[in-house]
Structure 1
Amino acid sequence: MATAAKMMTTTWSDGACLVPDWPAPAGVRALSTTRHGGFSQGKYSSLNLGDHVGDDPQAVLANRRRLEELVSGTPCWLNQVHGKTVVDAAAFTATENRPDADAGYARQAGVICTVMTADCLPVLLCDDRGLVVAAAHAGWRGLLDGVLEATVAAMSVPGERLLAWFGPAIGPTAFEVGDEVRRAFLARDAGAARAFVPGAVDGKWLADIFLLARQRLTACGVERVFGGNCCTVNDPERFFSYRRDGQTGRMATMVWLDR
């Protein structure tokens, strides 16, 4: 059964980041940024890390440099396309060419697997020996198409040896979807019906993306799942949310093996 775990907040100058509270082995490092601690203004205030959302490029660059100082390295940024492609992050850390992918894994120390979100579900994974880590961007489209299954497969570790952590995402009381989304998930797994409850309007449903992701991981043998208790939409003080605000910033969730 999936287990929710608290998140510890670690102070970062005038902002903060969230550190997963999960029983990862020594040498596995991870964090999720909030919207605080950066240089962006207005709707992007203040730690926007997305360079594709209309923010001042110089502010984004300064925000990314601040993040690099915090993690003592360069994140592997992806061009996320809501698909299921998984890449070896080590092949792209030292290049400006970002791959079209929605997940990255690493076996080398110092390679920082990173995904950006503003409602979609960021999922971190590691094995119980601290030999491989991965980060996946699981919006509903990628989740439906199998991005988590593809990530587990790329890690080449039995699911029973993996741990997962869910970062901040749109919560089950805020994620309204249409009939077509529910039907698509049920066509893949009838058990997905448990993740949908009727909305206030006919033909609309409230979807639990955390439960949908847990179901997919369980099918891969991943039973040790933590996090999943922070809603981006309902916490405007801490998180960016595209569903809530439309034009907004992006947060980063990352995992790496310590040097």
Structure 2
Amino acid sequence: MAMWLPFALCYRELLAFRRQARQFITLRLIDPLVYFFGISIGFGHLIATQGGVDYKTFIFPGFMAIGCLYLGVIQGAHIAFWRMELLKMWQAMLATPMRLRDIMMGEMLTVGAKTILVVMLLSLVGVLLGIHFSWVGLLLSLPVFVLGSFAHMAIAYNISARAHSMDDFDIVWLLLITPQITLCGAMFSTDHFPDWLSLLIQIFPITHVIEVARPLLLQTAELLPVLGHVSVLVLQTGIFFALAHYQFKKRLFA
């Protein structure tokens, strides 16, 4: 495999992205910010502090993670299926020297670049809202946000590989998006969860993204927990990418 091929695809995707950048930025900012304003205003007067900081500051890293969740899932499920099944773009690229894994990795690199853009824009909005966080922590957390997008995209690839129509993606909201937004610590601490629920949410990538990003941004991070959560994200990305590659290969080359 030529190592530059995924980067070439990423470059092509980013060139095409310029035409829809304004719409993309608007949509990717509005959704997490609507959640943020609704939750922070609705519960902010009830919850003075959470995790030792004011509630608005506590939940802001969670909404950065939600932005990564949407990016990875939508690109890996809806857009990948649309390009493969409806536009036949993947089949056309496979007629070139590109391999299937080059295409999958190139799409993921594109999402990684978009993740950095979204996180940086959200951080600037956070400054305007008076949220205090560590800029060094933000820079250190960028690879974690990117890795979170990769993990979500790898999982979503598996759904796309088995889907036959856009209706099949209803399960994405049921199993991937709603549980992660509501259960995995974006809006509140999970310290009071019963043991079985605390264990259950460890299967979701956003749990590990938040458990790394929030301490980094609030300057309370410890090395061993950070390494543990990052290792889980790497493992999830690798396993689900390999499974998706196998399923796409069966579908495209059968």
Per the shorter chain, which TM-score range?
under 0.3
- Bigger Rg over Cα: 2
The TM-score, its normalising length taken from structure 1, stands at 0.27
TM-score normalised according to structure 2 size = 0.28
